[in-house]
Chain A
Amino acid sequence: MTANAGERVICIRNVSVSYGSRHVLKDIDLDIYRGEILVLLGGSGSGKTTLLKQVLGLLKPDTGTIRINGVDITTCPESELAAIRRHVGVAFQEAALFNSLSVEENVALPLHELTHLADSTISLMVWMKLKAVGLADAAKLFPPQLSGGMRKRAAVARAIALDPAILVLDEPAAGLDPIAAAQIDELVLFLKRAFHMTVLIVSHELVSALHIADRLAMLYQGRLIVVGTREQFLANAHPQVRKFLDRTPDPISRGIAEDFINSYLRAG
């Protein structure tokens, strides 16, 4: 387990984002240390995808700074951002594989585009990455021919193609059956052990988060309400954390459900 004394790889300070009058993120402060797995939890609409896009430099915050390996990506020029991105591998929620390319071509794409390696070296590296995610047999298949879990693993293989120091996974277990989701969890733990990657996971899957995370953070209505180890998280008394842990619905949604059922009964 990594102690908080480690080296900061990602350093988020005072980040706020609003769309019009709606505040999506408010004063976010978060550090991610080298070699740890941090799971960012949060319900739908809590702003976790927005925060992820900020960290990837796809969106710029209204205020605040985000430093990756010491470089402020909110102000640095595009060329420097591209250099930073070489060290960050990303697997998107919908996998975002290119459907016109086979699995191995998808994994080879960043290697072909961003390195000057010989084709034989690239195919060896691709085979190694696919082997690592357990897809060596599916190399020639195309993304639409894969199952949901295989697609996610192929996306991870592409994300680690350039041996990034930081791996970012957006909802890796969303829409997967428990077995496929558990495979992804094991894969993440394996990658951390084998390649010493720093991993940031955005998720709402509590069980998997508690299994793999070194530290957990939770977003609620644009604010970080908890950041801490598994024990600290489980012991946290914040009402939203308790609700998340106990799977208690918000009273409003229960009210809407009751209204709906009542109106349905009346209509019947």
Chain B
Amino acid sequence: MTSPGQAKSPPARWLEYVGALTIQFWTVIRQLRHVFPFLGKPRRWRTTVQQMYAIGASALPMAGTMSFFTGMILALQSAAELRRFGAMELVVNLVAVAFTRELGPLITAIAVSGRSASAISAEIGTMVVTEEVDALRVMGLDPVEFTFAPKYLAALITIPCLTVLSTLSGIFAGYLFLAFSIDMSFRVYVQRAAEAVQLRDVGLTLVKSLAFASIIVQVGCLEGLRVHGGPEGVGRSTTLSVVKATFLIILVDLIATGVFYAMGWSAVE
């Protein structure tokens, strides 16, 4: 597909990579309508449902557990400080706000990128090596519509759902800590958490998780397409896809958070 730029400088290579990613993104977006239920082709929607299970549902235990542990760590760390000021109940605000705004989508994205970006690039890379991509093209089938678009739609649907569930799991870990340390009741915890979190935070988080879903699938697909040099190439691309996806997730998170801050959307009303 694209020739690897050996002689180019690192910034040029990154620019070329982001360019290729953007072109692929638009190509996939244009094919997305063929995948929708009722509007598109039923067989693509069936593939999408399988992908929703592979990318989303089966990642739930891992993403949920990671968020639960992080929630517990955050509660323990902050409690050690807040106890000195006699403000233990502020742990609720800290955990709830940190998870809704930041840790929920980030931890989910990192968990899914580790599982799915690698799986996607391995799958597409193997298809390239075994000429399955060529076979699709000579059959008159578009590989983008056939394989990329169902994965992308599946990620767009399931990753925001996963984000919500893993955020709840992190916040629940905070509750368990407070229930055991200062006997806070579930009712009070939920009430305080609900006061601390604004609806706008939830909205912005979901926007972020859509961006993360895009990064995971697009990087996975592009790395897969760029495989060259047989089965070893597939292994290399698998590693690269996780590294690049995780890096881009954190970079985009920084940019998005910066923009939200500059627009005044992070301020508490």
Q: Which residue of B lies closest to A155 (CB)?
A: B135
CB proximity of B28 to chain A, nearest CB, Å:
17
A90 adjacent to B141 (CB under 8 Å): no
Give A109 to B138 CA distance when docked, in angstroms.
13
Most chain-A CB neighbours within 10 Å: which of B131, B132, B134, B135? B135
Interface string of B110-149 (1 = CB under 8 A from A): 0000000000000000000011101101111100000000
A110 to B135, CA, bound (A): 11
Interface bits A102-145 vs B (CB < 8 Å: 1, else 0):
00000001101110000000000000000000000000000000
Which partner residue on chain A sits nearest B135 by CB separation?
A: A96
Verify if A226 is at the interface (C-beta below 8 Å from B).
Answer: no
Is B83 an interface residue when CB atoms closer than 8 A count as contact?
A: no
Q: Is the CB of B131 within 8 A of A109?
A: no
Contact in complex: A85, B139 (CB < 8 Å): yes
Residues of A within 8 A of B138 (CB): 56-58, 85, 88, 90
A contact residues around B137 at 8 Å (CB): 58
Q: Which of B23-78 contact A (CB under 8 A)?
A: 43
- Whether a CB of chain B sits under 8 angstroms from the CB of A260 is no
| Cβ contact of B43, chosen from A53, A95, A112, cutoff 8 A | A112
Confirm or deny: A92 has a beta carbon within 8 angstroms of a beta carbon on chain B.
yes
Q: How far is the CB of A199 from chain B (nearest CB, A)?
A: 15
Whether the Cβ atoms of A82 and B140 lie closer than 8 Å is: yes
The closest CB in chain B to the CB of A20 belongs to: B3
Q: For B140, what are the chain A residues with a Cβ–Cβ distance below 8 Å?
A: 82, 85-86, 110, 113-114
What size tier do the contact residues of chain B reach? 10 to 19
Q: Are A58 and B134 in contact (CB under 8 A)?
A: yes
State the CA gap A26–B29 with chains docked (Å): 39
Name the one of B132, B135, B139 contacting A113, with C-beta atoms under 8 angstroms.
B139
A98 proximal to B (CB < 8 A): yes
A190 vs chain B, min Cβ distance (A): 23
Is residue A94 within 8 Å, beta carbon to beta carbon, of the partner chain?
yes
Q: Which chain B positions have C-beta within 8 A of A53?
A: 134
The reply on A208 being an interface residue by CB < 8 A is: no
In the complex, the answer to whether B130 meets A94 with C-beta atoms within 8 Å is: yes
Which residues of B130-174 are within 8 A (CB) of A? 130-132, 134-135, 137-141
Residue of B nearest to A83 (CB): B140
Query: Given known contacts A113-B141, A114-B139, is B132 in contact with A96 (CB within 8 Å)?
Result: yes
Q: How far is the CB of A15 from chain B (nearest CB, A)?
A: 18
Q: Does A240 contact B (CB under 8 A)?
A: no
User: What distance in Å separates the Cβ of A164 from its nearest Cβ neighbour in chain B?
Assistant: 10
Say yes or no: A92 contacts B43, CB within 8 Å.
no
With the chains together, A113 CA to B140 CA distance in Å? Answer: 9
A183 within 8 A of B: no
The interface centre, meaning the residue of B131, B134, B139, B141 with most chain A CB atoms within 10 A of its CB, is B139
Q: How far is the CA of A57 from the CA of B138 in the complex (A)?
A: 8
Cβ-based interface call for A93 (8 A)? yes
Q: How far, in angstroms, from A90 to B139 measured CA to CA in the complex?
A: 8
A90 in contact with B43 given A85-B140, A96-B130 (CB within 8 Å): no
For A161, give the chain B residue with the smallest CB separation: B139
Contacts of A57 in B (CB 8 A): 138
The A162-210 residues at the B interface (CB cut-off 8 A) are: none
- Closest A residue to B130 using CB positions: A94
Contact flags (1/0) for A74-99 with B, using CB distance below 8 Å? 00000000100110101011111110
Contact A98–B132 (Cβ < 8 Å): yes
Give residues in B with beta carbon < 8 Å to A: 43, 130-132, 134-135, 137-141
What are 26 A-B interface contacts by the 8 Å CB criterion? A56-B134, A56-B138, A57-B138, A58-B137, A82-B140, A88-B138, A90-B135, A90-B138, A90-B139, A92-B131, A92-B134, A92-B135, A96-B130, A96-B131, A96-B134, A96-B135, A97-B132, A98-B132, A110-B141, A112-B43, A113-B139, A113-B140, A113-B141, A114-B139, A114-B140, A114-B141
Q: Which 4 pairs, one residue from A and one from B, show the smallest C-beta to C-beta distance?
A: A96-B135, A96-B131, A92-B131, A82-B140
